[in-house]
Amino acid sequence: MKIRIEVGEPRNFDAGGGANAIIGEIDPSLSGSHTIAQDPTIATLIQTPKGENVKPEAITEYWFVVNCPQVTFEGMSFKSILVTPRYKTKTPPEETLKKGDDLVVNGIWRQDGGVWDAQSIAGAQEGSIEVEGMIVGLAKEEKG
């Protein structure tokens, strides 16, 4: 799926030619999710107005990789972005985008400017791989 990410932060972002948009392809082999573990005592802390305990929903974090033409910005260069929805979603981001809905996202790129792969994604999640920069943007499916 081809998507367009209109970058809002950093405000002076330039993907080339004065454009603040990154257009690229989602790599379907590099998308996934994991459930964030919750402290079991949280359920006793959340109560309804009637005093009933409520078990909180599990939080699922989704991610996907967008490969794009080379972007150089403020001395940094990348051609692949690891993207996560900025806000909790109940459906995978690709489904949201296919429905025609926009999605606010965070995106990071590797310090070495390389393309994200399964090992580097795992390293980023563990904190063992260096990332160079981050964007916040509005993603939408790019038609045509």
Q: What is the pLDDT of residues 19-63, one digit of tens each?
A: 899 999 999 999 999 887 665 555 555 556 676 666 666 778 899
Q: What residue spans define the domains of the chain?
A: 2-30+61-141
Q: What angle do CA 142, 119, 126 make, to 5 degrees?
A: 100
| Confidence (pLDDT) at 130 | 86
| Confidence (pLDDT) at 59 | 79
Burial string for 91-102 (b: 16+ CB within 10 Å, else e) reads ebbbebbeeeee
Cα of 60 vs its chain's centroid, Å: 13
Q: Using CA atoms, how far apart are residues 14 and 28, in angstroms rounded to an integer?
A: 26
Residue 17: pLDDT band (50, 70, 90) is: confident
In terms of pLDDT, which residue wins out, 5 or 18? 5
